[in-house]
């Protein structure tokens, strides 16, 4: 089973992109604080790249702003690409299936 649930803050404004295949795509970065302190007594934060498609992508662009707290439910995906030196690199992303607003300036609602 490949399921992930993250609750965190958006680190930037969602940007809607139209793909060559005419699909809507939004990429957001989510800052998720850890639930424990490190050796220095500080809560560290992890950053996750999340990909949203079509209807979810459009609504996230419309309703989400930098700093909003959202809950993402989705799956992990690992893909590879070639860098400028033609070396294979790997990236892990969250493919969002659902996004819920936790703290938002307009109104709290779920978009699917």
- What is the per-residue pLDDT for 42? 94
Q: What are 22-72's pLDDT values in tens digits?
A: 999 999 999 999 999 999 999 999 999 999 999 999 999 998 999 999 999
C-alpha torsion sign, points 74, 78, 80, 85:
positive
Which has more pLDDT, 65 or 103?
Answer: 65
> What φ, ψ does residue 6 adopt, rounded to 5°?
-130, 140
| CATH numbers and ranges of domains, the chain | 1-36+44-79 (2.40.50.140)
69 and 93 Cβ atoms separated by less than 8 Å:
no
């Amino acid at each position: 089973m490949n399921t992930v649930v993250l609750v965190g803050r958006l680190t930037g404004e969602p940007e809607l992109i139209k793909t060559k295949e005419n699909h809507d795509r939004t990429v957001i970065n989510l800052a998720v604080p850890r639930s424990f302190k490190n050796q220095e007594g500080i809560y560290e934060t992890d950053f996750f790249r999340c990909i949203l498609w079509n209807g979810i992508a459009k609504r996230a662009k419309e309703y989400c702003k930098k700093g909003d707290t959202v809950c993402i439910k989705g799956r992990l995906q690992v893909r590879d690409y070639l860098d400028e030196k033609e070396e294979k690199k790997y990236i892990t992303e969250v493919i969002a299936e659902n996004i819920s607003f936790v703290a938002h300036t307009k109104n709290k609602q779920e978009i699917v």
